[in-house]
Amino acid sequence: MVMDGHINAAFNLPITVAFCLTLVVVCGGYSRHGSRRLPDDLLLGAATASYQIEGAWDADGKSENIFDYAIHNQPCYAIDCSNGDVAANSYYLYKRDVEMLRELGVNFYRFSLSWTRLFPTSFTDKINKAGVEYYNNLIDELLKNNIQPVVTLFHWDMPQKLQQLGGWLNNNIVDWFGDYAEAVFVLFGDRVKYWITVNEPFQICEFGYGNAILIPALNLTGEADYICTKNLLLAHARAYHVYDELFRPKQDGIIFITISTEWFEPADNSNIEAANDANQFWWGIYAHPIFSKHGDYPRIIKERVALKSRVQGLPRSRLPELSPDEIKYIHGSSDLFGLNHYSSAIAYRNASTYYYYSSFTGPSHDADAGYMSYKPPEWKIGESDRTMYAPWGFSKILAYIRNVYNNVPVFITENGFASHGGLVDDDRVTYYRGYISAMLDAIDEGSYIIGYTAWSLMDNFEWWNGYRENYGLYEVDFNDTSRPRTPRKSAYVYKEIIRTRTLDMNYEPDMSIPLTFDLL
């Protein structure tokens, strides 16, 4: 295989796009299986994140995070002018959440910690006892029900105070994040054996710093996003090394980063390079420094940004260099490849692409990458276009990790489908069946996959989409102050997959029977 951002074994797979565009259900053979067995040791679970479900935004000593602050000052940040002040109210309803997990029969529950609920000053000088009690209660309730907690340290809700100090643009974030991680390991590490340092660095840096999609919405493309990238990788590595050196010997856990990986497929044989660039600029920039043979950023990114920077008259590359010591510090700093995946896209580069990006005279992440992409309308199932259906892309990303990153163990930490509500969510069922089958294809081909996580356990605040987009296995009624949760058809189907360890493409649940759990 070839490393450093050039064409590799994963791109030598036969291009399937042409017939996938017209008949996606047979792509990769996803309609051929009536029933498939899941490996007995594959962990199955569900996920949420603190700001999206907890509510209680200022209760019991919690201070502001960046979403609290920004949305209260810009009430219509979300498309429906909603916020996470109450959300699913899980701060008060966590026992019902655990009950739902028992109903599904999951092996684990992935959730994130609210930094400001634990440390209201943003630093570790003051610990909020109420916040600690909440997470202790949740963790203990999970373990009492034989459900392993998988805990994310950072899922986008930066303390507002630290954001005012620069957030991920301040080099001191490496120390701040390391201190936070160490304090959390002390508080909960005796019971938590799976730690995720950071969720989806591309979305944090590109959507929040390079663009205005996510808070803090700095919109400084080609500059702030690259600074964020370097500091985030170093902060992740700091948390990893703190755990590895100080806590792993006694706590014996696993720690890793989760990277969002949209798969970019070339439009045709002339666009293989464009698709490669897309994959590298989207997620290779975070995966390569950790998982590749020699570390550092992909070579194509370093060369491209340096060249564009020189053309723009800058004395150095806009992509901050990693020193040899930093490369070594980041390299190998993840026990697993945490993988979030929802959909894929078609990438291309043609004369109009060159003409369009040549008009960008200033810094631009998109101009640096120099590709364009689209998702064919034939991939759409259901009402939402947030999660287009292309399960073959899931197999390809897993093949890429297997071929390029030496088959590092993969923990799929998010995979799910957006809808606009309703309990009979057949499109979500179709999606889960297709993507789980694609995962099983990758396992058959040799991928080392240890866990699969459905996003999400319940409907929640979906950032700029507010409550308009629903991903939950359980529907939450946000118009009811008691926030009742009701299982969707997909919850029944997922429960059956977990119970039987079998993916049955033809199983039809009886939703008139309440979804209950077996007694322990």
Tell me what the mean pLDDT of segment 256-267 comes to.
98
pLDDT category, 4, cuts 50, 70, 90?
Answer: very low
Give domain status of residue 321, yes or no.
Answer: yes
Which strand (E) or helix (H) includes residue 201? helix 201-202
* Cα→Cα distances 232→116, 168, 201, 237, Å: 19, 6, 7, 8
Q: Catalytic: 414?
A: yes
Mean pLDDT computed over 15-31: 38
Instruction: Write down the pLDDT at residue 118.
Output: 98
pLDDT at 403: 98
Active site residue 200: yes
What is the pLDDT of the chain when averaged over all its residues? 93
Contact in structure between 80 and 467 (CB atoms under 8 Å): yes
Name the domain count of the chain. Answer: 1
496-510 burial by CB neighbour count: b if 16+ within 10 A, else e?
A: bbbeeeebebeeebe
In angstroms, the CA 310 to CA 305 distance is: 9
Report if residue 511 sits inside a domain. no
Please give the order of strands across the beta sheet that includes 263-266.
Answer: 263-266, 344-348, 372-374
Residue 325 lies in a domain: yes
- For the stretch 455-499, pLDDT in tens is 999 999 999 999 999 999 999 999 999 999 999 999 999 999 999
Please, how many CA atoms are within 13 Å of residue 103, restricted to the half-sphere of its CB?
Answer: 22
What are the E-state strand segments in 161-262?
194-199, 254-260
d(CA 53, CA 89): 6
pLDDT band at 223 (very low <50, low <70, confident <90, very high): very high
pLDDT score of 195: 99
Q: Which residue has the higher pLDDT, 86 or 9?
A: 86
Of 64, 141, 326, 414, catalytic: 414
CA dist., res. 154 & res. 171, Å (int): 17
**Token couple for 372:** 């364009």
For residue 518, tell me if it sits in a domain.
Answer: no
Would residue 520 count as lying in a domain?
A: no
Q: 162 lies in which domain range?
A: 9-504
438 to 29, 33, 344, 433, 519: CA distances (angstroms): 9, 11, 13, 9, 33
Residue 19's pLDDT is: 32
| Closest to 473 in 3D by CA, of 109, 93, 83 | 109
* pLDDT value at 23 more than 70: no
CA distance 86 to 207: 24
Question: How far, rounded to the nearest angstrom, does the alpha carbon of residue 344 sit from its chain's CA centroid?
Answer: 14
Q: Where are the alpha helices (DSSP H) in 370-510?
A: 391-404, 426-444, 489-500
Kindly tell me if the per-residue pLDDT of 27 is higher than 80: no
pLDDT surpasses 50 at 31? no
Taking the C-alpha atoms of residue 127 and residue 116, their distance in angstroms, rounded to an integer, is: 10
| Residue 17, pLDDT above cutoff 80 | no
CATH number at residue 247: 3.20.20.80
Per-residue pLDDT averaged across 412-441, rounded? 98
Residue 3 within any structural domain of the chain: no
What is the reported pLDDT for 517?
A: 79
79 burial level (CB within 10 Å; 0-12, 13-18, 19+): middle
User: 278 in a domain, yes or no?
Assistant: yes
| 199-223 CB burial, b ≥16 within 10 A, e <16 | bbbbbbbbbbbbbbebbbbbebbbb
Give the model confidence (pLDDT) of 353-368 as tens digits. Answer: 988 998 899 999 999 9
**387, 456 contact by CB (below 8 A):** no
Is residue 7 scored above 90 in pLDDT? no
Task: Name the pLDDT band for 28 (thresholds 50, 70, 90).
Answer: very low
Secondary structure class of 366 (helix, strand, coil): helix
Band of residue 33 on the pLDDT scale cut at 50, 70, 90 = low
The one catalytic residue among 141, 200, 326, 462: 200
| Helical pair 224-242 and 173-188, crossing angle rounded to 10 deg | 40
